[in-house]
Amino acid sequence: MCGITGWIDWEEDVTRQSAVIEAMAATLRYRGPDAKGIWLSPRAAFAHRRLMVIDPAGGAQPMVYTSGSRTYAITYNGEIYNFRELRSELESRGHTFGTKSDTEVILHAYVEWGEEFTRHLNGIFAFGLWDEQRQRLLLARDHLGVKPLFYAQRGSAVIFGSELKALFAHPRVQPEIDRDGIADIFGAGVIHTPGFGYFHDVHEVRPGYQLVFERERTRASQYWSLRSAPHPDDLETTAQRIRALLKDTVKRQLIADVPVVSMLSGGLDSSGLTALAASEFRSEGKQLNTYSIDFVDSAAYFTGNDMRPSLDGPWVTRVSEHAMTRHHTVTVDTPELLENLLVPLYAHDVPTMGQIETSLYLIFKAMKEQATVALSGESADEVFGGYPWYYYDEVLTTNTFPWLTMFGRNGSMRSLPSLLSNDVMRQANPQEYIARRYQEALAEVPRLEGEDAEAAKRREIMYMGLTRWLPILLDRKDRMSMAVGFEVRVPFCDYRLVDYVWNIPWQMKTIDNIEKGILRRAFQDTLPDDARMRRKSAYPSTQHPSYIKGVCDWALQIINDPNAAVRPYINVDTYRAFADKNNPVLSQDFAIGPLERLIQLETWLKEYHIKFI
């Protein structure tokens, strides 16, 4: 993985602006700690920070390919899992290669197939590609949006980068927030809007899209989307097809020239992938290393609920022994969580989640000591329908994002709107904003003609999870892993699997009267039955009183500071009552979230010099 950034300008000679492009690249140094490079032409400046994973010697970037009088350049972040097959096909069409890298394959694919080339790619990627002869910039992002890519158009210029901070290093892009930004950051924060870049006139390349920028026009095209159709296969054929797809995907995603490990929570998703990966390792005479997160005194303070009915530890041991992995538990304590609470802010450049991101950062930091790449079970719940909210009766009748039904059941979440000041509520109107974003998402759902009302509603619910919830988790995983120069691969995001599972009927997805029943069937010969049938348990969080106290103390310092930057945007009295260490709500899973976000908001307003317009 890597950090990429670039500046295209049809009026200014950017060869004279190496200092600016260097500054943009420097903001991404932790994404690519192994090497750096820039490439300059009169109209285009590309920069790259590299994390070496494939072809360390030959994969340097930005990469330039010249064919006759034509020159092409690319700065690229990601992995193309079918690059070997593509390379063979391109060689049969007369192409010759100077490296063993997937980066070079992308360049040659563009030369061979033009703008249709993204349809040939299977992987996780974000890149900028410059066609010198046509004076054309192409930005593209992978099917599910695993890798990030932001851009802004300013006059004659297009400025892009892996993260927002790279854009802010350019003098033409300022951290300005408009009404929608206020509504999202201060009031919503629980939905992801594809294409929305939080800041005024800053955008995100949507998953499955490519953008073409030319002097006179900009074109957007969608190279991949979900297509609804009747599911053709019976139960056994479906389970076999899923198993075959996952085996192939895991095998592809183990390709690397650096050590690869696996995350293992003891849940169905990571356990199934771990077992498949461990089998591949054993076939090569190797043992897979696995990692899990735990918290000091987690058993003493654990309280089960819908999202987390059981502790992970015993199940991690069960699956590790079954798959014969060498397991490592990373145990995190309160001081580490508090010391790193602002890491997610600096990684996202906007306030986000608290310890659920901080602990992920800490486990990746530990994993980085032994490896560079890991497999993760992220996205199986969105692809197969694994969260508790998919099973609430009210989701079939409520016209909003389905996970908000869970927040509505949680006392701490119900109080969120009252935490904002009257001015923010009036100006941003978070409820209206959420309703508008929901209607936008609803209009995109690919319908299936003849589907009954419940099946159609289920399709809507699944679409919301894949396009408005999953990106939050993918962003979290990307930023926390890349913050330590670590690559995480997500086999359940293989678009072939997503395409196939999308049209499996709900009754088949939940076969055996359990969430992700069809996935459990697919893992029937892969996992022991007790682990395979373990109920869904969400990513863990600490419920330790010392962490709650630490966050409350920090938040109260801000709340009680008359000069706090966040003060005009919050309901001070309500926040003060909420931050009371004796508030019983705070012992609930994730209930501390509003206070963690408050702490990040205060730092964000001060250090990012936010301007409201």
Instruction: List residues with catalytic annotation.
Output: 2
Give me the amino acid identity at 133: Q
Angstrom CA distances, 470 to 81, 145, 184, 355, stand at 21, 9, 17, 18
246 vs 384: CA distance, rounded Å: 13
Give me the amino acid identity at 95: H
Residues with Cβ within 8 Å of residue 542, at least 6 apart in sequence = 295, 296, 298, 301, 332, 334, 337, 355, 359
Residues with Cβ within 8 Å of residue 58, at least 6 apart in sequence = 98, 99, 100, 101, 104
250 vs 276: CA distance, rounded Å: 7
Contact 102, 257 (CB under 8 A): no
Contact 293, 366 (CB under 8 A): no
166 vs 160: CA distance, rounded Å: 8
Q: Which residue intervals of 340-387 are DSSP H helices? A: 343-348, 355-367, 380-384
Q: What are phi and psi of 487, to 5 degrees?
A: -105, 130
Contact 542, 596 (CB under 8 A): no
Contact 428, 178 (CB under 8 A): no
351 vs 344: CA distance, rounded Å: 8
Tally the residues of the chain.
613
**Residue 558 carries which DSSP code?**
H
424 vs 334: CA distance, rounded Å: 33
Choose among 210, 221, 223, 224: nearest CA to 151: 210
Angstrom CA distances, 515 to 407, 410, 509, 536, stand at 20, 21, 8, 8
